[in-house]
Amino acid sequence: MMRILGQTLTPHRDGRDIPVGLILLATPPRLRVTGETEVQLRHTLWGAAGMTMIVLATLPMNARPAAARQDTKQDTAARQDANGTPVRRAPASSVQIRPPLQALRTKGRAAAALRSRIAATKGKVRSTTWHGRASGLRISGNRAMRRISRAGLGWQATGRCTDQNRPYCTSLHSIRYGTLMKTIDLKRRSGCRIVITGGTETGHAHGVYSHGNGYKVDIKHNECIDSYITRKFRFYRTRGDGAALYRNKENDIYAREPDHWDLLLH
């Protein structure tokens, strides 16, 4: 008699396996036979085994193992989103990487800061520049000259020099930072031309709030600045040498001398 051991399978396009044949095993009947009958049974058994080997040899060899088919199903499930909608993956070369919005905002702020620094170098100085501890700092003459040049202020000396030890020079060496910046702010607020004719050079009167200590500067007269000071600042009193004194809300004193304004800037 014959017994079915299993089915032979072949893969299909949609992943299903289709049986194409049966593996048969011939088993001798449970009868006691002898002689010629036993020989025939042996021939039948070997013939069935040979047919089984022929069927297996003719099957296609491209069948994928079960583990590979399982991996394919998992990959298909991974390409689906939470709603079960298939998700198509684009090739890496077609993916466009764009900067996040935060990076664009940071770049815009950096550009705005750069524009502010450029504007400051052109004389657009904020009124809070000299407030705080920085107002009492002493700066070098070269740095002070660069500051007034960038802000559009003029400079004039009888001897055309900047030596602090010569009275006919106009020096800004060791001038207070706050004094220099208030002079620059006077130009910005008034819109008038400012020409510095006196600074920290020797030859001025001594005192705590003097030229030598960096508290005072001299500027030239002109109609614009004369009108601005007398109109914007309150008349304070007349000094002993006859100079009219004007004072602003910050207690800075503007003394009108015959050939220049003597500014005391705290």
- Please write the tens of the pLDDT for every residue from 52-101: 555 454 555 554 555 445 555 555 545 555 556 665 555 554 445 555 66
- Convert 17-50 to b/e letters by CB count within 10 Å (16 or more is b): eeeebebbebeeeeeeeeeeeeeebeeeeeebee
Query: What is the pLDDT, as a whole number, of residue 5?
Result: 46
42 domain residue, yes or no: yes
21 domain residue, yes or no: yes
- Classify 118 as helix, strand or coil: helix
Instruction: Give the residues of the chain that fall short of pLDDT 70.
Output: 1-109, 112-132
Q: CA 60 to CA 18: how far, in whole Å?
A: 12
Same domain for 137 and 257, yes or no, is yes
Same domain for 157 and 242, yes or no, is yes
* Number of domains comprising the chain: 2
Q: What is the pTM (predicted TM-score) of this model?
A: 0.53
97 domain residue, yes or no: no
Full residue range of the structural domain in which residue 161 is found: 133-264
99 domain residue, yes or no: no
